[in-house]
Amino acid sequence: MNAVSLGAIYACLGLGFSLIYGVVNIINLAYGAYLMVGAYTTYWLFARFGLDPFLSVPVTAAVAFGLGYLMQRAIINRAMRVNIISAMILTYGFDLIAINLILVFWSADYQVITTAYSGRSLSLGGWANLPYTAIGILIACGILALLLNLFLNGTRTGIAIQAASLNPASARLVGIRIEGVYAMAFGVGSALAAAAGSLLATSFPVFPGVGDAFLGLVFVVTVLGGLGNVWGAVVGGLALAAIEMASVPLLGPSFQQLVAFSVFVAVLVLRPYGLVGRQFFAELK
Amino acid sequence: MANLLDLLRTPRGRRAALAAFALLLAAAPLALTGYWLRLLTNVFMLAIMAESVNLITGFTGYPALGNGVFFGVGAYALGVLMTHGGLVFWAGLPLAGLLCALYAFLLGFAVLRTKGHYFLMATLGVMEATREAIKNLDPLTGGDQGLFFPVTRFSPAQLNVYFFYVMFGTLILTVGTCWWVVRSRLGYAFRAIKASETAAGVLGINATLYKTVSWAISAFFTGLAGGIYGYWATFIEPPAVFDILLAVKFFVMMLLGGPGTIFGPVLGAFLLEISSTVIWGWFPRWQLAIIGGILILVILLIPNGVAEFLRRRLRHAGLGAPARQGAAG
The C-alpha of A277 sits at a distance from chain B's nearest C-alpha, in angstroms, of 14
Give the ranges where A25-117 is alpha helix by DSSP (H).
Answer: 31-49, 57-71, 77-80, 84-106
Q: Are A87 and A76 in contact (CB under 8 A)?
A: yes
Q: Are A258 and A250 in contact (CB under 8 A)?
A: no
Of the partner residues B129, B291, B327, the one whose CB lies closest to the CB of residue A261: B129
Q: Which amino acid is at A107?
A: S
CB within 8 Å: B296 and A272: no
Handedness of CA B223, A220, A133, A126 (dihedral sign): negative
Helix (H/G/I), strand (E/B), else coil: A123? strand
CB of A95 within 8 Å of a chain B CB? The answer is yes
CB within 8 Å: A284 and B117: yes
Q: Are B307 and B54 in contact (CB under 8 A)?
A: no
The CA distance from A18 to B115, in Å, is: 18
Average pLDDT score over residue span B255-272: 90
What pLDDT, on the 0 to 100 scale, is given for residue B318? 46
A-B contacts (CB, under 8 Å): 133
What pLDDT, on the 0 to 100 scale, is given for residue B4? 64
φ, ψ for residue B112 (rounded to 5)? -75, 0
CB of A220 within 8 Å of a chain B CB? The answer is yes
Residue B326, pLDDT above cutoff 70 = no
CB of A119 within 8 Å of a chain B CB? The answer is no
CB of A250 within 8 Å of a chain B CB? The answer is no
Q: Which residue of B has its CA nearest to A254?
A: B136
At A127, the pLDDT band (50, 70, 90 cuts) reads low
CB within 8 Å: A265 and B244: no
Residue B320, pLDDT above cutoff 60 = no
Of the partner residues A85, A90, A104, the one whose CB lies closest to the CB of residue B327: A85
CB of A79 within 8 Å of a chain B CB? The answer is yes
Interhelix angle A132-154/A2-24, nearest 10 degrees: 20
Percent of chain A exceeding pLDDT 90 equals: 35
Q: CA geometry: angle at B93 spanning B91 and B96, to 5°?
A: 115
Q: Which residue of B has its CA nearest to A267?
A: B122
- Provide, as residue numbers in chain B, all residues whose Cβ is less than 8 Å from the Cβ of A226: none
Q: What confidence tens digit (pLDDT) does each residue in B245-257 have?
A: 899 889 989 988 8
Handedness of CA B276, B130, B63, B22 (dihedral sign): positive
Percent of chain A exceeding pLDDT 70 equals: 92
Q: What confidence tens digit (pLDDT) does each residue in A146-167 have?
A: 999 899 889 999 999 988 888 8
At A15, the pLDDT band (50, 70, 90 cuts) reads very high
Spell out the domains of chain A, with CATH numbers in brackets: 2-108+129-282 (1.10.3470)
Q: Are B99 and B107 in contact (CB under 8 A)?
A: no
Residue A279, pLDDT above cutoff 80 = no
φ, ψ for residue A130 (rounded to 5)? -105, 110
What pLDDT, on the 0 to 100 scale, is given for residue B181? 95
Residue A284, pLDDT above cutoff 50 = no
In DSSP terms, A131 is beta-bridged to A121
Of the partner residues A29, A94, A265, the one whose CB lies closest to the CB of residue B125: A265
Of B320, B323, B55, B65, the closest CA to residue B213 belongs to B55
The CA distance from B141 to A55, in Å, is: 46
Pick the residue of A21, A27, A244, A261 with the most B CBs within 10 A to test the interface with B by mutation. Answer: A261
Q: What confidence tens digit (pLDDT) does each residue in B97-126 have?
A: 999 999 999 999 989 988 888 888 889 999
Q: What mean pLDDT, rounded, does chain B reach?
A: 88
Q: What confidence tens digit (pLDDT) does each residue in A219-251 have?
A: 888 888 776 667 788 888 888 888 888 888 888
Pick the residue of A259, A269, A273, A284 with the most B CBs within 10 A to test the interface with B by mutation. Answer: A269
Give the ranges where B148-286 is alpha helix by DSSP (H).
Answer: 156-183, 185-195, 197-202, 207-233, 238-241, 244-257, 264-282
Pick the residue of B53, B103, B118, B128 with the most A CBs within 10 A to test the interface with A by mutation. Answer: B128
CB within 8 Å: A99 and B288: yes
